[in-house]
């Protein structure tokens, strides 16, 4: 009976062990010593999505996933990798979704055609609707 | 008993809305005095009943009546009263009931006080208002009854999301809702004017206070929401271009454009069809915003309703309203004469720049927000974030700021740039001086640089219209414009300064250690446990001094709520006139060292001061318009009375 109770207690406690008890990666909450590199890393982090949060970048989140990615970005920047190379590497691993900065591709071109179209419309409005004298 | 009373009142209100719609629509077809006499009283009683219904829900939350499902799911007896009350609308059903109640009260107010428009136009407006309300009544009664009972009643409630247990968070959705409702009223006015072919300056004057009111609430709602995200999420970000934020920004953009085009219509009888179109667009944006937030199509802290049935209902309503309004617009727009003409360099011309730029930004935000949802439907996940929105919207926003600095000085109808030459040169020199000053001293991004330069020029430009005018005799509405434009400059300055000059420091400190961030020296004194009504926390006591000045204490906390269980970090802020020190307490690492995040954010508070100024400017303008209307009405009544007495005396003689 006692063993049964113990077993039930363990089963109930199972979700606890699923919590990540690992300490955060070293550079998740630590800045790089070189301020120029840190600024570069920060700028990149602000354009990467925290995949487990909603709408926040990895620079704005306490989520473990965001911490791990901050560590990755800082370590790679410190190693001398270019920010755009790190972005490409992350996109390769996690898909386009991770980057807040859409590139012009076959699936995103309308986003870039839109402002151009709007500029044309604006020019048209001013030339044709307002060009005539009152 | 209260719950049943609330539900009955809701049904009755819905029935009256149906009557208001049918009577109003029949009067449009042929003149029937008996039916026409029904519409205004129906609107008034409908307003009272809907308000009573919401009052009943309010009471249920105050009493924490756990036999009502909604209360049991969203409240808890241990919660502070201020959040019990907020529980009445911090959920899907309650917020929808609040929406219809406010909308019905707005309808009642129109029915009671609006006598400027032709009677037929007003009845058509009230019928349109009833048409919109009916959809919401159906939504509440069919798929989201807020008064549903639970049997048996649970012994304790579920509580409220701890992130929402915060005064700003508890009240900012209501301000946004008031804004949405105001835009629905503007929409009804537009439909009424279109149905009866009365797109006149009087229509614009009748609609304008409602647009202004909606705009004030939206401005304050967005400002409060942004400040909430800033201090609650614990990383110092204040705008994320998150779909939920965009959902509130889009109606604001449309309302801002509508406000300016309605001014042109009221003052100059121009931009008729365009103003009607903006009225339809502004309300459509608030429906789209509601859909995005309420349908659960985006999952985030705001999207608490995750239920496809509701989403499809809102989508159906949205299609019905926008579809029928656009069809009506297509049928009638041709018969709306173009209105008065004007040249490019005129007040109207400047306002058209404002309208085109705001509409373009609106289109960018709309497409940028919906595009990822669209591609997701085809199995492609993309993200559109700040690196897209910031530069692309700046493409239109920065030119608009230039025009904003000059436009208010131009005359109506026709003017020449030569007349405002001196002012234009002055503003240009100011902008260039700031640009050069910042450029040679620091290296910052292009957008913050332009933002700083333009914000100073706009700040000066916004007060130039006061030049040469008697300040005591200046109409309140002009003061409102000046204050709101100045607010735009203040907010812009805060945004640019924050993004250009923020200093960040992430450290693991032992008690007694001192950290430098920007001009601040911050010492960690102790970390101690503290307890609140429904949470426990670890509190870090920090002592900060600015440039060696008098030290001040701040205490960030890392809180654990227990109903429901959730962890939040409560940031601590030290505010100076020129910025904020922002501190967050993180976890303990390798025994005795605490993670601390510190930011020095120069002028960041100016973002929200700017927002408040913009709202206050709107309030002054609204006050000026309403007082002006009252004065005119009194005058008319007095003239009518004098005429009557004169006629009587004549008869007596």
Q: What is the pLDDT of residue A60?
A: 86
Q: What percent of chain A has pLDDT over 70?
A: 78
Closest to B490 in 3D by CA, of B517, B458, B521? B458
Domain that holds residue B578: 504-603
- B145 and B257 housed in the same domain: no
Residue A17 has pLDDT above 70, yes or no: no
pTM for the predicted model, two decimal places: 0.91
Quick check: is B612 in a domain? Answer: no
Give the model's confidence band at A28: pLDDT under 50 very low, under 70 low, under 90 confident, else very high. confident
- B524 and B556 housed in the same domain: yes
> Cβ of B346 and A57 within 8 Å?
no
- A94 and A120 housed in the same domain: no
- B176 and B199 housed in the same domain: yes
Quick check: is B366 in a domain? Answer: no
Q: Which of A23, A62, A105 to mutate to test the interface with B (most CBs of B within 10 A)?
A: A62
Domain count, chain B: 3
Quick check: is B509 in a domain? Answer: yes
CATH code, domain carrying A76: 1.10.8.640
Ramachandran sector of residue B543 (left: φ over 0; alpha: ψ -120 to 50; beta: rest): beta
- A131 and A95 housed in the same domain: no
- B50 and B184 housed in the same domain: no
Does the N-terminal peptide bond of residue B564 adopt cis geometry, omega within 30 degrees of 0?
yes
> Cβ of B595 and A134 within 8 Å?
no
Q: What is the pLDDT of residue B160?
A: 65
Quick check: is B184 in a domain? Answer: yes
Kindly state the helix (H) or strand (E) to which residue B580 belongs, with its residue range: strand B579-589
Kindly state the helix (H) or strand (E) to which residue B204 belongs, with its residue range: helix B201-232
pLDDT in tens, B593-620: 899 999 999 999 999 999 999 999 999 9
* CA atoms in the 13 A half-sphere facing the CB of B444: 23
Three-state secondary-structure class, residue B155: coil
Distance CA B245, CA A55 (A): 10
Residue B470 has pLDDT above 80, yes or no: yes
**Nearest by CB to A54, which of B242, B382, B385?**
B242
Cβ of B364 under 8 Å from any chain A Cβ? yes
Distance CA B273, CA B193 (A): 11
- B198 and B335 housed in the same domain: yes
Quick check: is A17 in a domain? Answer: no
Residue of A nearest to B389 (CA): A101
pLDDT in tens, B57-80: 999 999 988 999 999 888 888 788
- A93 and A121 housed in the same domain: no
- B183 and B329 housed in the same domain: yes
Mean pLDDT of B457-482: 92
Quick check: is A30 in a domain? Answer: yes
Give the model's confidence band at B299: pLDDT under 50 very low, under 70 low, under 90 confident, else very high. low
**Nearest by CB to A111, which of B368, B386, B504?**
B368
Domain that holds residue A126: 103-134
Cβ of B392 under 8 Å from any chain A Cβ? yes
Among B308, B342, B376, which residue terminates a domain? B342
Closest to A108 in 3D by CA, of B405, B547, B367, B118? B367
CATH code, domain carrying B315: 1.20.120
Quick check: is B620 in a domain? Answer: no
Closest to A98 in 3D by CA, of A109, A83, A88? A88
Kindly state the helix (H) or strand (E) to which residue B503 belongs, with its residue range: strand B503-509
What is this model's ipTM?
0.82
Quick check: is A12 in a domain? Answer: no
Q: What is the pLDDT of residue A84?
A: 93
Give the model's confidence band at B522: pLDDT under 50 very low, under 70 low, under 90 confident, else very high. very high
Asked whether B351 and B261 are in contact (CB, 8 A), the reply is yes
Mean pLDDT of B32-48: 92
> Cβ of A59 and B299 within 8 Å?
no
B263-268's contacts with Cβ under 8 Å and 24+ in sequence apart are B263/B204, B263/B208, B263/B351, B264/B347, B264/B348, B264/B351, B265/B199, B265/B201, B265/B203, B265/B204, B265/B339, B266/B201, B266/B204, B266/B205, B266/B208, B267/B201, B267/B412, B268/B201, B268/B339, B268/B340, B268/B342, B268/B348, B268/B412, B268/B413
Closest to A76 in 3D by CA, of A111, A108, A37? A37
What are B90's two structure tokens?
Answer: 């911090």
Q: What is the pLDDT of residue B306?
A: 47
Quick check: is A14 in a domain? Answer: no
Q: CA-CA distances (angstroms) from residue B265 to B340, B346, B378?
A: 9, 14, 44
Quick check: is A127 in a domain? Answer: yes
Quick check: is B116 in a domain? Answer: yes
Domain count, chain A: 2
Q: Using the Cα atoms of residue B525, residue B526, residue B532 and residue B535 in order, give the sign of their dihedral.
A: positive
DSSP code of residue B471:
T
- A39 and A76 housed in the same domain: yes
Place of tokens 């120029």: A36
Residue of A nearest to B568 (CA): A62
Mean pLDDT of B553-570: 85
pLDDT in tens, B481-512: 999 999 999 999 999 999 999 999 999 899 99
- A64 and A128 housed in the same domain: no
- B184 and B298 housed in the same domain: yes
């Amino acid at each position: 009976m006692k063993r049964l109770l113990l077993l039930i207690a363990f089963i109930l406690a199972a979700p606890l062990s699923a919590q990540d008890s690992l300490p955060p990666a070293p550079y998740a909450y630590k800045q790089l010593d070189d301020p120029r590199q840190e600024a570069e890393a920060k700028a990149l982090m602000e354009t990467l999505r925290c995949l487990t949060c909603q709408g926040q970048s990895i620079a704005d989140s306490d989520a473990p996933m965001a911490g791990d990615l901050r560590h990755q970005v800082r370590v790679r920047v410190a190693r001398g990798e270019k920010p755009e190379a790190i972005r490409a590497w992350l996109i390769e691993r996690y898909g386009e979704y991770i980057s807040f900065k859409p590139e012009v591709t076959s699936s995103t071109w309308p986003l870039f055609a839109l402002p151009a179209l709007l500029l044309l419309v604006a020019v048209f409005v001013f030339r044709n609707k307002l060009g005539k004298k009152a | 008993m209260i719950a049943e009373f609330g539900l009955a009142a809701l049904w009755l209100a819905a029935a009256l809305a149906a009557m208001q719609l049918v009577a109003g629509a029949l009067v449009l077809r042929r003149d029937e005095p008996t039916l026409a006499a029904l519409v205004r009283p129906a609107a008034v009683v409908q307003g009272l009943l809907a308000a009573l219904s919401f009052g009943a829900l309010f009471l249920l939350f105050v009493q924490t009546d756990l036999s009502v499902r909604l209360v049991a799911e969203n409240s808890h007896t241990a919660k502070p009263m201020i959040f019990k009350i907020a529980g009445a609308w911090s959920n899907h059903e309650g917020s929808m009931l609040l929406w219809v109640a406010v909308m019905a009260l707005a309808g009642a107010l129109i029915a009671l006080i609006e006598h400027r428009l032709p009677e037929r136009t007003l009845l058509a407006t009230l019928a349109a208002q009833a048409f919109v309300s009916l959809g919401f009544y159906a939504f509440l009664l069919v798929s989201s009854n807020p008064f549903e009972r639970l049997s048996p009643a649970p012994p304790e409630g579920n509580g409220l999301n701890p992130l929402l247990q915060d005064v700003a968070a508890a009240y900012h959705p209501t301000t946004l809702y008031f804004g949405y409702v105001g835009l629905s009223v503007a929409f009804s006015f537009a439909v009424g004017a279109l149905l009866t072919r009365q797109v006149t300056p009087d229509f614009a004057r009748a609609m304008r206070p409602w647009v202004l009111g909606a705009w004030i609430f939206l401005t304050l709602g967005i400002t409060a929401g942004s400040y909430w995200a800033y201090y609650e999420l614990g990383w110092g970000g204040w705008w994320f271009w998150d779909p939920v934020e965009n959902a509130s920004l889009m109606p604001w953009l449309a309302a801002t454009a509508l406000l300016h085009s309605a001014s042109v219509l009221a003052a100059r009888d121009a931009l008729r069809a365009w103003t009607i179109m903006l009225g339809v667009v502004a309300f459509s944006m608030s429906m789209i915003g509601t859909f995005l937030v309420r349908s659960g199509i985006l999952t985030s802290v705001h999207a608490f309703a995750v239920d496809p049935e509701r989403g499809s209902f809102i989508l159906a309503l949205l299609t019905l309203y926008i579809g029928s309004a656009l069809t009506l617009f297509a049928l009638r727009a041709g018969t709306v004469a173009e209105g008065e003409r004007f040249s490019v360099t005129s007040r109207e011309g400047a306002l058209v720049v404002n309208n085109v730029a705001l509409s373009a930004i609106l289109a960018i935000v709309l497409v940028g927000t919906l595009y990822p949802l669209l591609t997701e439907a085809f199995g492609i996940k993309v993200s559109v974030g700040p690196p897209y929105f910031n530069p692309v919207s700046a493409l239109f926003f920065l030119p608009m700021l230039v025009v904003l600095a000059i436009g208010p000085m131009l005359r109506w109808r026709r003017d020449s740039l030569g007349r405002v030459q001196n002012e234009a040169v002055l503003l240009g020199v100011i902008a260039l001086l700031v640009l050069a000053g910042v450029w040679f001293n620091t290296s910052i991004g292009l957008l913050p640089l332009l933002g700083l330069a333009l914000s100073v020029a706009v700040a000066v430009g916004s007060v130039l219209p006061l030049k040469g005018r008697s300040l005591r005799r200046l109409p309140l509405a002009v003061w409102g414009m000046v204050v709101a434009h100045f607010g735009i400059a203040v907010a812009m300055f805060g945004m640019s300064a924050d993004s250009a000059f923020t200093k960040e420091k992430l450290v693991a400190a032992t008690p007694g250690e001192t950290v430098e961030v920007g001009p601040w020296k911050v010492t960690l004194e102790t970390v101690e446990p503290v307890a609140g009504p429904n949470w426990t926390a670890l509190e870090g006591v920090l002592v900060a001094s600015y440039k060696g000045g008098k030290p001040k204490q701040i205490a960030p906390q890392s809180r654990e709520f227990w109903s429901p269980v959730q962890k939040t970090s409560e940031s601590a802020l030290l505010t100076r006139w020129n910025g904020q020190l922002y501190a967050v307490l993180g976890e303990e690492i390798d025994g005795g060292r605490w993670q601390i995040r510190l930011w020095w954010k120069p002028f960041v508070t100016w973002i929200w001061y700017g927002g408040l100024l913009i709202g206050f400017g709107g309030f002054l303008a609204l006050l000026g318009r309403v007082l002006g209307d009252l004065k005119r009405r009194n005058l008319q009544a007095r003239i009518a009375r004098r005429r009557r007495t004169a006629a009587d005396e004549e008869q007596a003689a």
